[in-house]
């Protein structure tokens, strides 16, 4: 079995585990642009000690090229854990992050994420470069 077979995909409007990539569909070559990654845009994902998003990663696959490039990987490490018990901690990390990138050619942004209970998730969007 290939690792790609382990990734689940769905419409983020109907599924709370799908990483959502929010950015322009077309950007200018050589100019930085903001990318927002989040889990649970339409349907909130829990963020508890027992059920949480551990990380999200962002990749870029240039059109007509073999290799994919990692833009960033972002870990969410606080889920209410504490000596006092589950969900008694003083801090919770929200599973959303902004990052910036610059592209020289069109391609596909790919986001992956991991839910500690429901496994690996993936989504992608095409980006045009002018």
CATH classification of the domain holding 23 = 2.60.40.730
Per-residue model confidence (pLDDT) at position 21 = 97
Per-residue model confidence (pLDDT) at position 92 = 95
Catalytically annotated residues: 15-17, 45, 51, 115, 118
Per-residue model confidence (pLDDT) at position 103 = 98
- How many structural domains compose the chain? 1
Report the Cα–Cα distance between both ends of the chain, in Å, rounded.
39
Weakly modelled stretches of the chain, pLDDT under 50: none
Per-residue model confidence (pLDDT) at position 13 = 75
- Give the pair of three-digit tokens for residue 23: 């950015």
Per-residue model confidence (pLDDT) at position 89 = 96
Range of the domain at 98: 3-129
CB 4 within 8 A of CB 115: no
Per-residue model confidence (pLDDT) at position 40 = 85
- Give the pair of three-digit tokens for residue 128: 């045009």
């Amino acid at each position: 079995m290939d690792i790609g077979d382990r990734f689940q995909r769905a419409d983020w409007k109907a599924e709370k585990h799908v990483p959502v990539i929010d950015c322009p569909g077309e950007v200018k070559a050589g100019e930085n642009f903001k990318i927002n990654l989040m889990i649970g845009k339409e349907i909130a994902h829990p963020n508890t000690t027992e059920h949480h998003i551990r990380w999200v990663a962002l990749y870029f696959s240039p059109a007509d090229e073999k290799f994919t490039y990692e833009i960033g990987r972002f870990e969410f490490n606080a889920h209410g854990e504490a000596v006092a018990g589950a969900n008694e901690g003083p801090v919770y990390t929200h599973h959303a992050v902004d990052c910036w990138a610059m592209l020289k050619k069109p391609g596909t942004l790919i986001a992956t994420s991991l839910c500690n209970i429901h496994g690996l998730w993936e989504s992608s969007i095409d980006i045009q470069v002018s």
